[in-house]
A and B are shown apart, each in its own frame.
Chain A
């Protein structure tokens, strides 16, 4: 039911006429998103079935609080978002007010000494890191790209990032937080007048704030957050020049005391050994992988054009690499002092050799040598990742966070075999069996991995194949009964048969009935049930849960 004129006026009075709209053209921009195809009933299109009631743009925490209070008073459900990349950023429910936090875009402070920045929701990592680098710090930008909100990543959703080996997972990088609770009360996590910690007094309410996945807007609105930043050994600004393969740019001058390596391993066991050994050695600023050679090439070709990838295949470059490489790993060495860099280099090569890994010949000569030397650092620093959408569709599945051994055993069979069947059916991009993306955190204390499948969002067959692929992959994993089902905990994808929330309901009992615990917490914190629950817990079905 649309907002009544009177209620609309209430919201309008809070933010002003210019900052609220219920025009269709405005609402549709909050209905269409990446991965909507994976919500039952939406494919092959990318529009959710419901538009929000209106979109409102608060300019301050006070306005957010007033909006949330009004929502509670008038029984209006609400869903906040910041940069809103991916279907989880929108509500799947009907009759929801969408709160777009774009006007709240300030960096309130960078505390260079104590190593954190206080930001509002619409400060993307690219803006934050531009300022952080000036004071010798760097934020762990989300792997979805540095155009994504830092606050959202730290307080509300995901947390994986490319620099995590050094900087950790972003679920652990939140300090003080200002939070408008689902019922409209505003609290500060940590001290009331400082941002250096968000824990206490007593139990840390960060525990209610996000968890592993993030509340995804289902738990009130985080209006400010102190983001822990990390040491940055690089320059205050990075000079780039046009060129390069995958981001359009290359370094105008080499970074001092920095080097990117691509190392190959003959099998997954060796890959695991290598990752553990590099973790123990603590010599890498970043450790990640972008799948096997074919997948890596597909990713790397992204910016120049899809034609480039075809050309590389036709020139035999991909095949040659596939013949030489097996399961590569990418590592960034980055040191503050020459001594440190020399040590890192020495230890790194020792580890590589001892583990039976090698540096492929192909990456020691142009063009891949140049790519690693001149471009890969840009990928890690600039973190422009929208190249991954060759056809506007980039399916992430089997997301898994855990120890290297538990994760890596799922990088090979059965995922590869399953994928290749879909490759043969031309439903997804033919980029080899191994398309495992991975990041290490806290010196490989744990890793995140996901399988990536490129599809064409404009091709109904391709979309449908991906939906089938996800469903089949989940069935396969379920049959294995060995813990791999943990995969879906980190993601928000439905499949051909069920919503992710239905999937969570199935998984709940395997994970301590987390869905019941979450619903208990939801009811305690959101007595009027107005904070959007469609991407929280098991979704709207939780209303019927006996808790």
Chain B
């Protein structure tokens, strides 16, 4: 599968600009929060929109343009959040996200990408199995003092693997999230274990910047390891890990003998079954941000590879089922928040499949921190507009980026993980 395979889709872009906005069929709710594409919101040349990137890809394929710093800026100043894909697909069969991904892949394959800021991350994965240039043996530090099964040595077995992910494992300001999660699992009697120092990067970050070879290597290693562990479920707290496990790993064609579950989906089930009963009141007004990778980017978009048949004269029909972003994990965090006594919940305008990206993904935070911050600030403003005292989410990347935006703008709002609130109420 290659960029060239999607030439037809590039030709079929009509430059209508729908990719810049949240799906029109969802009915835009305000002037302020109509944009869905953070890149297009910040960068005003059309080239930065989904459509613009399709045109850029076609121009490059056709030899109309060369690889220049401007092309790399257009391609990588983007969080690859998939909103353009959702908005476009509401009316067409185009595979916008796949083209954007293939464009990055080709740039990397031909030695032009990714961006310099991405290279240490890639090297870190290659050398340390994580994106944070941290030693492997510190990966399990978050669990210090917890009584949790260690599945890495093959001696202990469990039904559930709790896969923590690089950021929750190493980021000292976020480490309490996996600890709380593990405590909740323990409290609910879940039979789970962790991999500790043997846990590998999910490779989502390298996938996103187009480093396909490394992604495939790590994805296959992970699948093999999960299969080998014999667990029924792989539960993760990290949206990035969840998204790639759920939507990208299956496309590699490997057998996956386990179910991928977000920690919050699991906890919502535990609440539903009565295993966990939130009792303590949490007097807080909150709103929830759907991370791209638990939402639309967690949905399997089987790429067509350009395969299509012609029907009814000249109607191109793709060889894959079309998805619209509806199959993300949207309900679990809302169910958890709804179960917390006295919590007041308000939705933002851009939610679920058309959630506005925090701006951190796709390597944007490392390569274009100004862009990431701008997107996060936009989202924080939207959260503020609901009257919420706290912006709740369940992705470490989003949380870090929002925290930066709140710090930068001085916005009077807290950034909180769903798990923290749940723990507070138990």
Residues of A within 8 A of B (CB): 19, 21, 23-26, 28-30, 32-34, 45-47, 55, 57, 83-86, 100, 102-103, 107, 123-124, 126-131, 144-148, 237-238, 240, 242, 244, 247-249, 302-307, 309-310, 313, 378-379, 381-394, 423, 426-431, 454-459, 461-462
Contacts and interface: CB of A to CB of B under 8 A. Distances in A.
Nearest to B67: A25
Contact of A386 (B18, B74, B318, B321): B18
B11 A392 contact: yes
A384 B30 contact: no
B251 interface: no
B27 A382 contact: yes
18 contacts: A28-B47, A28-B55, A32-B59, A85-B14, A130-B31, A144-B16, A237-B27, A247-B90, A248-B23, A249-B27, A249-B90, A305-B321, A307-B322, A378-B27, A383-B24, A386-B18, A386-B92, A455-B314
A144 B324 CA distance: 22
A130 B312 CA distance: 38
Contacts of A309: 311-312, 315
Contacts of A127: 28, 30-31, 34
Interface string B121-165: 000000000000000000000000000000000000000000000
A28 B64 contact: yes
Given A306-B317, A389-B12, A430-B315, 8 more contacts: A24-B65, A29-B55, A85-B17, A146-B24, A237-B29, A244-B25, A249-B25, A304-B322
B322 A130 contact: no
A47 B64 contact: yes
Contacts, number: 255
B12 A21 contact: no
Interface in B38-61: 44-47, 51-52, 55-56, 58-59
Interface in B291-346: 310-318, 321-322, 324, 326
A26 to B, nearest CB: 5
B311 A310 contact: yes
A240 B26 contact: yes
Contacts of A242: 324, 326, 352-353
A103 B43 CA distance: 9
A124 B90 contact: no
A426 B312 CA distance: 8
Given A29-B52, A126-B28, A307 B68 contact: no
B8 A458 contact: yes
A130 B315 contact: no
Q: Rank and list the top 3 A-B pairs by shortest CB-CB distance, nearest first.
A: A392-B12, A247-B25, A384-B24
A309 B322 CA distance: 13
Contacts of A390: 92-93, 315-316
A439 B26 CA distance: 23
A64 to B, nearest CB: 14
Contacts of B94: 392
B187 interface: no
A34 B59 contact: no
B171 to A, nearest CB: 33
A30 B21 contact: no
B7 interface: yes
A431 B311 CA distance: 11
B56 A457 contact: no
B54 to A, nearest CB: 9
B11 A382 contact: no
Contacts of B221: none
A30 B48 CA distance: 12
A156 B279 CA distance: 61
B65 A28 contact: yes
Contacts of A304: 322
A392 B14 contact: yes
B34 A130 contact: yes
A309 B311 CA distance: 9
A389 B25 contact: no
B69 to A, nearest CB: 9
